[in-house]
Every structure is written in structure tokens, then in C-alpha cells.
Amino acid sequence: MSRTKFTLAIMALALSGCVAPPPPSAKKPAVNLEAVLPPQSLLREDTLTALNHDRNQSRLPYVGVWATDGDKCAMMDQTAFQGFAVITPDSMRRSAETCTFEQGQPGSPYVRLEATCKARGNKTTSRTLGIQMLSSRQLALTTAPGNPPTAMVRCRLLPTPQPVSGRP
């Protein structure tokens, strides 16, 4: 077979779909964006308090910023949405209300908190909150007895890049 006929045969096969180019290589993102919060400069004061709390010292594992889905963490304090909880040692902010309470039992994987909650419109109610730690990065939140728990993941900040020091 001549070189021209061979080239034409290969081109015909390629055009007919028999020979396909290799699939593009899947590139992993440089940073896993799941459960990452906006930069600190865009976050509210209680969010920063929850993030900067030393859980090792207080032994309150539930203190932190939580969302029902890791992708929702990027929306924290930027827009109104359902499915988050900002929990400090003595308060919890969710989309529809802010609750205050006495801090829970240190070191306990399950706490039951008697809270006073203010909803939009300043309606005040008393309720029992239940927080069960499923792992260091997951919890189940119950906002009233008899309600099913809501599974949540811990949101985190991206580490701030450290400047590279020059060599002497």
C-alpha cells in the first residue's frame, strides 16, 4: 500500500470515529474547595469568634462554623441561605434565628442546651438544642425535641500562605 493510500485510510478511520484522540487528563484542583469559607476579612464577628476559639483548651468540640453541605461554606456571611450554624461557646446563629445558652459540658460528644432564641421580627422562644459530634469534622444538630437531626460539616479557612524567606 502506498504511503498516500495508507494516510487516507487512517484519516478515514479517524473521521469515522474508529480512532479517537486520547481523553484529556483529569486535573485535580490545586485546592480542595469543599468546606472552605470566604477570606476572614469578609466574615462576621461571631464567625471569627467561632473559628478562632481554642477547642483543645475549652474541650467544646461543637464550637465552629458548620454547613449542611461543604459547598455552602463559601457562601457564609455573604448571602442569606438555609443550612448553616455558627456556634460559639454561648451562642448559635442560623439563617432564621440567633440563640444564646450556657456553654455545654466540656469534652462531651453530645450536649443538650437550653436556649433562648430570637427569630427575625424579634420573636423570642425557649428551645432545647441537641448537638452530637459524629467526628471532629461532622455533627448532628437537633433544634427541637422530636425533630430529626441535621447533619453538618465543619467549614474551614484556607491556610494563609507563609512568605518564603530568602537565603542568607
DSSP output for 74-127? GGTTTS--SSEEEEETTEEE-SSEEEEE----TT-SEEEEEEEEEETTS-EEEE
Q: What is the pLDDT of residues 31-54, one digit of tens each?
A: 455 789 999 999 999 999 999 999
Contact 44, 77 (CB under 8 A): yes
Residue bearing the bigger pLDDT, 115 or 30: 115
Cα–Cα distances (Å) from 54 to 37, 76, 89, 101, 167, in that order, read: 18, 21, 10, 19, 34
Q: What is the pLDDT of residues 102-115, one digit of tens each?
A: 998 899 999 999 99
Residue 4 maps to a domain: no
Residue 28 maps to a domain: no
77: region left, alpha or beta (phi > 0 left; psi from -120 to 50 alpha): left
Distance between CA atoms of residues 87 and 143, nearest Å = 13
Distance between CA atoms of residues 153 and 76, nearest Å = 13
Residue 70 maps to a domain: yes
Percent of the chain topping pLDDT 90? 63
Residue 122 maps to a domain: yes
Residue 9 maps to a domain: no
Residue 25 maps to a domain: no
| pLDDT tops 90 at residue 22 | no
Residue 139 maps to a domain: yes
Give me the pLDDT at residue 159, please: 75
Give the number of domains in the chain: 1
pLDDT band for position 30 (50/70/90)?
A: very low
Q: Which amino acid is at 19?
A: V
Residue 35 maps to a domain: no
Tell me the residue range of the domain where 92 lies.
Answer: 40-154
Q: Which of 93, 92, 134 is nearest to 102 (CA)?
A: 92
